[in-house]
Every structure is written in structure tokens, then in C-alpha cells.
Structure 1
Amino acid sequence: MKVGLANSINQHGPHNATKTSETLVRRALDRIARYDGYLNALADINPHIVTMSETLDAGHVTNLKSGPLYGVPIVVKDNILTTDGLRTTCNSQVFKEFYAPYEATVVNKLRAAGALVLGKANCSEFAYFMAMGTMPSGFGSLHGQVRNPYDRTQDPLGSSTGSAVAVAAGLVPMALGTETNGSLVSPAMRMGIVTLKPTLGSVSRHGIVPISSLQDTAGPMTENVRDTARLFDVIKGYDPHDPLSVDHPSLSVATEPSVSESIRGLRVAVLNYEQAPYTKQEKKMVDEAQTVLEAAGCETVHVTHKISLISNLKTLAPEFKRDLNHFLKRLGSHAPVSSLAELIAFNRNHAQHCLPYGQAIFHLSEGTDARLKDPDYLTARQQLDAAVKAFLAIFTTHDVDAIVTGRITGYAPIGGLPCLHVPGVSMPDAEPRGMLFIGQKWTEETLLRLGYHYEQATQYRRPFDDTLLEPYL
């Protein structure tokens, strides 16, 4: 059977539509066997994945033939529940033998689209919400450290590290990650790949180990904008199992077919920062993006924004306690621990193996009011809402369709806004940088169109250079 995909895991050229699912899977497994001993991007691999691909190629699963991801191997972050015999560990000793009793909605959607879930991608332990600034991104007590394929001395950033590294190094063409506070966008920028942090409520969180239901989302991580749109189209949609899921009209319209449509007439704000001007390298990238968008017919306007120095730890800590305890309660007898308090106690009792960097954030969260009624929490939430409101005023004050910036900001995750990252330099020739396209809620289609035209004009994403890893094999 033919497999349609904009780019494949073949690092030596574009996807050949005559390739079978088995070919793609075996190619992925070959690269994983060669490089992942060093990269440590994957936590687990489905032992039946080759048989599954052969079954697809033989035409025995006819109801999936028309799926948009038919036969495509994909990995999902190891905080996303699957029921295919793979554990969901969050890279934690506590969850070492946890086999989920149900599957995340996003995984069900992947399978319905014909994708093959090849395995689980390593992540920062509990999505980097455990230790206070000391633990490197991509580290966990169970599977160890995910490594940056471009520079072993650089932190891979975020918590969706394995997902980002797996795509960047060409182990798989697509991955799912999650974000609460930059964990899609940050590793994507460091790895030079494309990602979309969707509008809060557009992608179900049912079956994803939570930090905060007010900020958590899953999102696609791929090599290019078109594949990001294709994967987003698969995982988005209303889910009654997620209390904050929204049945919005935009979710019924596919974004992938329109990514190449004209952006002429769109008005874009080029964001500058009052307290912290761009570096010379950042300004060069942002200026180029402005030139590209104007050449494609966009109208641009420079906007200088006063950054709100906001921290959302005061809000995330009690939200984590509330949402994790609720998640564990739903698991019932399947849960390895019944509460955050038990999780802390397990780690403390096995500190030699579980706590090389401590668990300061766990302790902080456990000491909060999970009812979210503490005055400090309410004040902090009001301050965050006010900061986001001031940011959103850019759209109305300047009558713009999107904001572009060369720096990661906290407004998108805190405000539940969509944010697309597209590489702004070629790796590994330059320090990792990328352009961020931020919109109001439910404007993913606009952001993907803008990002696609920028990507096509600049062509910064290149196939991974395997010789970078040869010294470490």
C-alpha cells in the first residue's frame, strides 16, 4: 500500500509514495538501532510493529486505507497513555511498571487515521515539573538523559525532548509531544523542527498525565509545516471526556489542504520587546521573516510590547496537585500510587535511584490548596490573566491577524493561544533559533499558512547529518 507523507524518514531525499509501511517502519528501526543508544530519545518500542506494518501492507485492515496517516510510524511522548503493551512511565521509577487501562484520545485518533504507534518517546520526568531548576531537560530517573543530536553540551530543552530529538535525527517522521509551559516550542527550537502548540480545548487531554488542565495540551512535532498541519488535523476535535474540550466550528475544517493558499492581505505584527531588544542574530532573523511575509503580500507593523515579568509557578503548583490526584483516582487499582503525597513518599524512600535532583516542585505542590481557593493563588491567576489580556490587545489595537516574534514567550501557554514554531536557521551551522507565529484562539489555519510561506521561502530545515553522531557510536 502507498503511504502519503510530505517527508519520510529517508534522510537522502523526499518521500517516495511507492514505499510500503513496512519499508518505513524498518527504516525507522534501523536508525533507532544505530543511533538511539546514544540519543536515548525512545523509552520503549512496540515489539509487534513490523507485523503491524506487514498487516497494513497486505490490505488486511481495509477500514484504515483512506486514513491520512496510513502506515506512517509515529512515536508519542511517554506521558500519553497507550494500551498496546507499552508502559507509560513519565521517565519515573514510580511508574516503571505502569500499563494503562485505557488509551488517550489522541492515540485513538492516530490509530483511526492509520498511523502506526512505533513506541514511546522519552521525556523529562513528569514533564519537567519535579525539581527546581537543577534537573536538565530530558532527564528522568528511569530512562536517564535524552541527548541533543547537534551538540551534546546543550540542554535539549523542554520536556517533549525525546519527541523532538526523534524527529530531528530522522528516527521517525512525526511525533506527539505535550506542553504546559513551552515543552513543545522550546525543544522544537533547539532541534530545528516544526511544532504547533494548539489552542487550549482543541486537542483532548484525556489519557495524558497532567500538570494543569488550564494549560496542558498535546501537539504535533514534525519536519515541516505541512506534516504538522496533517498531524494536527488528525488529533484535534471535541472530546466529551475532556471537561475543557470545545466543540468549535474550526475543528471540523482541515488545515492541511489550505497551508499553501495565499497569505496576501493578512496583517501581521512584528513583535519587539521594550526591556530586552533582540540580539543582532535575532534581529537579522526577524527582519528576514518580515521581508519574506511582505514579499508574499502581507502587511506588517512593528509593535513594541512591555514584557510582563510573570511566573506561573504559583498557579501551576496547586493545579498540578489537584489534577494529578484526580488523574490517579480515575486509574483506581491500576495506579502505581494513589496521590501526589504517595508519589513523594515513594521517591523519598528510594532516594538513591529516584532523586538525583530532588523533588522540590512536588513538595511545593503538595503544600498548596488543591481547591484553588487560596488568596495567593487567586491573585496570581488574576495577574496572569491581566498579562495575557494586555498581550491580546495587540490584535485589536493594531488590527492584526497574527504576531511574529523571534523569542519564546509565556503568553501563548498561559493564555491557551495557538503558537507555531518554524526553524529560522539551518542546523547545525548556527545557534538554534526559530520564528514563532502566535494567534488568537482558533486561528491555527492562519498561522500554518504564514509558517508554510516562511518555510518555503527560507528552507532552513535540512535532513539530519548523520556524521554528527558518528564519534559517539
Structure 2
Amino acid sequence: MRQSTSYIMVLWSVIVASIMGFILTEEMPHPFPMSLCNGVNIEDATVKELQHLMSIGQLSSQDLVECYIKRINQTNEFLRSVSEVNPDALSIASALDQERNERGIRGPFHGIPFLVKDNIYTDDKHNTSEGGLVLLGGRYSSEATLVTKLRAAGGVLLGHAALSEAADHRALTNFSDGYSTRVGQTRNPFNLTQATSGSSGGSAVAVRSNQAAIAIGTETHGSLVHPSANLGLYTIKTTPGLVSRHGVVPGSYYHDTPGPMARSMTDVAIVLDIIASPDHRDNLTFNALGKIPLEGYAAALGTSHALRGMRLGLPWNPYWSTAGNINAPGLREQYESRLQELKAAGVELYNITNNPYLHQIANPYGFGQPAHTPEEYNQLISYKTLLAVALGEWLQNWTFPETDERHGMSTLAEMASWNDEHNATTGALGNGTWWYNTESGQDFYDIAIATNGSLNGTFWKAFGWGRRIARQAIDFGHTHAFENGTVIELDALLLPNNPNGGFDNGCASVPSYAGYPVASVPIGQSKWGMPIGFCIHGREYSEAKLIKVASALENLFRWNAVPQWHNYKTAEGPWDAPWPGYACSQESLDSYACERS
């Protein structure tokens, strides 16, 4: 019976791969080769490597900007991962090159081009729109703190990365992950029929496809760690408040956090050392006082030698037992093989099978909460209420010209009403006509509006329960009790991180509810041609320890893969055109608005 089942699963995986239009082979051509940059190969180059090339004079910052813009122009028609390029990027790079020659460098980020997700406000000539039309053309009171810090460190803002519209806060159903009305459907270069898996998909795709070496994303519930897994990148979703959220279009005061998406944990640590600090415009950042290591996060980076004696816990139920993503064809074998490598490297693995809190808060088959959760404890109550509050506060400092019909917009309800009025249209796309139904597509906005942003007893009961149980689940998991009563503290918890086989990824939910950090490390590739990884759960403000664990895993596995662009010619749909009725020309973007066509 066991042999027959295995045979059926193998046969099924081959059938699925055939239906999807590809069988992975080494002979498949790469349709978008990366050109040399001023004679130098920068494909998959890290921030650290680029800084070295500039320091020895082989490349300049201006060279890098020119080469990344060329790469964007080469690939963005298919990927839709960059929404807009900063028109001043070349002049900024030139000035930084001159400064390098005359006075030296500001630090490890000097001259490095970077992208930011399109919900992070930049006070310059290009737009911040959160992927939609309702905010397009508006201006915020001041630039996002993290952008100002990256500029001060010598970074060159290359542009905005695309995102799922409204950071996946606009709709819960009847939407496409990675789609925005402004840009279209962002696609995964490993396989263009597969998901980018989270609203920061544009940032992740841009880095993996070499449109930039580093990008900043944001996470409320999975939008850093899940796209990183799907694109084979490194990231860390920090404790909310470690990095200022000022200037970031909000979803939830208690859950939002920006973070770097990169090709190495070294790059993640370099960026985190720049952007982690208190900010008087984000009160939650003051909770981090005394929690940021004086020596910085880069000092926590470790090699594979750090694995000897490291204690990692495996939360068996549900993440290693019933969750769908671990049971997709061929994945359990890959993950268990990696666990054996960890053991061989000296890691002590502990099977956490009886966590009395985890089964209360974690869905046994994937993303979200269990079906048996009492309705009054549903965490959707927290997210939808906080969304109404957050956007209402954001709009107080978001302005449009007095001649714009959106001038004075101050509530989420007004935003949704504007969407209903302006997004209802038909448009000729290819050989057919596409109709967008305004009765769907923003149901998350609708349920958030219904709360009136009231932080009442209903809200606090749901939020308080979820935060308490989630923290207990992670804290309990970090301790291991032996039969003789001895209790030891574990360094971190290790979970599978992938959405392959059509299953939801569950590794981000509990840290989101808890307000705890989580890191992601790539470890391999699935039968669908998609990267897979580990999620690493930590306790509050344990970012330095997570960086140590993640960088040690990185040095052991040393996994990297070049995207093969499967189905780049055949993956078609109505998402390939900008929103019908609007023309976002370069001229209109320069004036902070799209023209009505």
C-alpha cells in the first residue's frame, strides 16, 4: 500500500507539472540574460559585493543605476514588479560618486540603488499610490523615516516597487494576489503562472530578477516572509515598532512593520542597522529603547560553525504534520533532508509536539486561525478595525490639490466610494472586453468601514485574546521540558515556509498576532519550479538572535537558483493592461497624476 501511494503521488506531480506547461530540465533556455554592467557581472550581486566593486573603482553608483534601469526596461513588461523609476536617480548617484571621490564613503550603503514598496512615501518627483488610483497624485506631510535614513546612509532611491493593491488590505475575496490597478499583475520569474504570495511581491520579484540588489517591503500578515520564500530571498519581519512606520501607508498600528528583502542575511543586517531606531513620529518605536544591540545587527551574523550546539524547536503540530504546504508532493523529503544536514552540523533539534496554546490560534492546515475559534476571538475583528483607524489617521496628512475632486478626502468610506465611482468601466483588452464588477474587489474595505474604527470592547476582546495566546504559543515553544523536569531555552523555532501545491503558507500568522519577529531563509526548490524556505520564529525583540540563526543556516545551505521564466509567453490575462479609462504616461506621472483617457 505504501509503495502504491508513493507511485500515485509521483505520477500526480508529473501530471500537474505537464498541465502547468513545463517539465523542469537543465536544457531550458534563459529568455532574459543579464547584461554585463560596464563590463562587470552583477547578476545576483549582494549589497556587500557591489560596495566592493565601487570601492576598487570597477563600477560607480551611476553605472549601477544605469544598469538596473536597463534591466527594468528589459524585464518589467513581463514582471510588472516596478511601478515607477525615480527620475532623479542618476543625478543622485552622480553626486554620491563625487562625494566618494572627494571625501570617502558614508558607510556600507553608500551609492547602493534600492527600491521601496509603493506604500512607502518618498518626498520627490515620483508617486506613492499604494498600487491604486484613489491615492495616486496625493502628497504626505513628510517622507517616510526609513527612506530618509537610507538616503542619509548614501543609498540611491531607484524607484517604487509594485504591490498587491492597498497592501492586500482592499479585498479578502475576488482579487488576485500581486495585482494592482495601477501596474497590473506582478509575476514570479521562476514560473509566471505561480503566485508572488504576499503584497510585497513586487519588491521580492525586483530583487530576484536583478532589477535591484535590495528592496524594502512591508508586512502586516505575511507580506515579507511569504514573498521571500516564493522568490528565494532573505528577510526579517521585525517586532512592530523596531523600525519606524512614519510615512508608510498603514494597515494596522499593532502589526505593520517595514523590512529589507535581499540576497543575503548580511544585506538584511546592513539595512536593519540603518533603519532601526526610535522616531518621535511613531510612538511604538519608543518601546524598542534599550532593545537594539549597541554593536548593531551585523555583529550578530554567524557562519555555519555557529550551528554547533544551537537549539532549534520544530512545532510539529500543525506545521510539520497536517499543514498542506509540507505535504505537497516531494516537499517533506526535501525538508527532512535539510533537517538531517542541520543535525550533522551539530544542531540540536527538539520536536515540540504538545503546545497547549498553538492549537488554539493556528489553523491545522495552513494560513489563519482554526475553524473552531469562537467568533468573538476572530483576529479579523482586530485587522478590520485597525485598518479603518489607520487610514482615517493617514488621510489627515495626505493632501490633494484643491482642484482635485479628492481634496478633503478624510475617511476610508470616502476612499471606497471613490473607488466604486471611478473603477467601474469596460475596456478593450486583446481580442475581448473586460468588465470590472464594482460589487466586489474591496470587501475588506467594506467590513472595515462597518466597524466605524471603534476601539471598543469587541475590538479589545479579540485583539487582547489573540495577542496573548499567540505570544504564549511562541514563548512556550521556546522552552523544552525533559521527562526528568529539566527545562531548557531554545534559540528559535523552525517552520516550513512555502505555498507550493496550491496550499496556503501558515508561518506568518502567529507572529503577526503576537507582534513577534520572524525571519525567512531559502533552502531549495519544489517540483513546481518554485523556491522553498524555512521560517524562523523568535521572541519579542530577538532580531539579533534570529539574524545569527538565519545567517548560520544560509552559510550551511548556500542555496541560490536562477529563475527560468517558465510560461513567460503563455501566462496571459486581463491584468496585463493598466486600468481601463486611465493613461499613466510618463508626463502624467511627473505631475503626480494619471490622466483620464
Pairwise same-fold verdict (TM > 0.5)? yes
Q: Is the 8 A contact 1:136 1:155 kept in 2?
A: no
Query: Do structure 1's residue 293 and structure 2's residue 342 form an aligned pair?
Result: yes
1:45 matched to 2:118? The reply is no
| Cα distance change on mapping 1:409 and 1:47 into 2, 3 Å | closer
**Quick check: 59-68 or 179-188, which moved more?**
59-68
Secondary structure of 2:546's aligned partner: helix
Return 5+ residue gaps in structure 1 as ranges: 1-6
Q: Identity of paired residues, percent? A: 28
Moved more, 421-430 or 136-145: 421-430
Gaps of 5+ in 2: 1-39, 364-368, 370-377, 426-435, 482-488, 498-506, 573-597
Where does residue 10 of structure 1 map in the other structure? 43
Superposed CA deviations along residues 221-251 of structure 1, whole A, max 9, x for unmatched, are 0111111111111111111210111213325
Q: Find out whether 1:358 has 2:425 as its counterpart.
A: no
The answer for the alignment partner of 1:323 in structure 2 is 390
Kindly tell me: are residues 60 and 71 of structure 1, through their superposed partners in 2, closer, same or farther at Cα, counting changes over 3 Å?
A: closer
Which stretch of the first structure deviates more once superposed, 294-303 or 134-143? 294-303
Paired position in structure 1 for 2:503: none
Q: Kindly name which structure, 1 or 2, has the bigger radius of gyration based on alpha carbons.
A: 2
CA contact (8 A) 2:331 2:526 kept: no
Alpha-carbon distance in 2 for matches of 1:224, 1:60 = 25
**1:177 corresponds to which of 212, 217, 234:** 217
The answer to whether residue 322 in structure 2 is matched with residue 276 in structure 1 is yes
Taking structure 1 as reference, are residues 145 and 289 closer, same or farther at Cα in structure 2, changes over 3 Å only? same
Q: How many residue pairs were aligned?
A: 466
Aligned to 2:310: 266
Supply the distance in 2 between the matched residues of 1:372 and 1:409 (Cα, whole angstroms): 24
**CA–CA separation in structure 2 for the residues paired with 1:27 and 1:9:** 9
In structure 2, do the counterparts of structure 1 residues 102 and 355 end up closer, same or farther at CA, with 3 Å as the change threshold? Answer: farther
- One-letter amino acid matched to 2:463: R
Matched, 1:19 2:59: yes
The question of whether the paired residues in 2 share the 8 Å contact of 1:9 and 1:28 is answered with no
Instruction: Name the CA shift for 1:472/1:366 in 2 (closer, same or farther; >3 Å).
Output: closer
Aligned residue in 2 for 1:382 = 464
Match of 1:256 among 263, 280, 298: 298
Distance in 2 separating the partners of 1:23 and 1:386: 50
Name the amino acid aligned to 2:465: Q
Alpha-carbon distance in structure 1 between the residues aligned to 2:536 and 2:474 = 14
Q: TM-score, normalised by structure 2?
A: 0.73
Work out whether residues 150 and 428 of structure 1, in 8 Å CA contact, stay in contact via their aligned partners in 2: no
Deviates more, 1:251-260 or 1:143-152: 251-260
Residue 133 of structure 2 corresponds to residue 87 of structure 1: no
**1:198-277 counterparts in 2 under 5 A?**
198-245=238-285, 246-260=288-302, 262-274=306-318, 276=322
TM superposition shift of 1:368: 0.3
Task: State the shift of 1:128 in Å.
Answer: 0.5
Equivalent residue number for residue 160 of structure 1: 200
Q: From 115, 121, 139, give the equivalent of 1:99.
A: 139
Across the aligned residues of Structure 1 and Structure 2, the Cα RMSD in angstroms comes to: 2.7
- Compute the displacement of 1:62 (Å): 6.4
Following the alignment from structure 2 to structure 1, what is the Cα–Cα distance between the partners of residues 265 and 445? Answer: 36
Distance 1:332 1:349 in 2: 20
**What residue number does 1:349 align with?**
421
Instruction: State the partner residue of 1:4.
Output: none
Structural mapping, 1:130-145, within 5 Å: 130-145=170-185
Aligned partner of 1:298: which letter?
Answer: V
1:403 is aligned, of 493, 501, 516, to 493
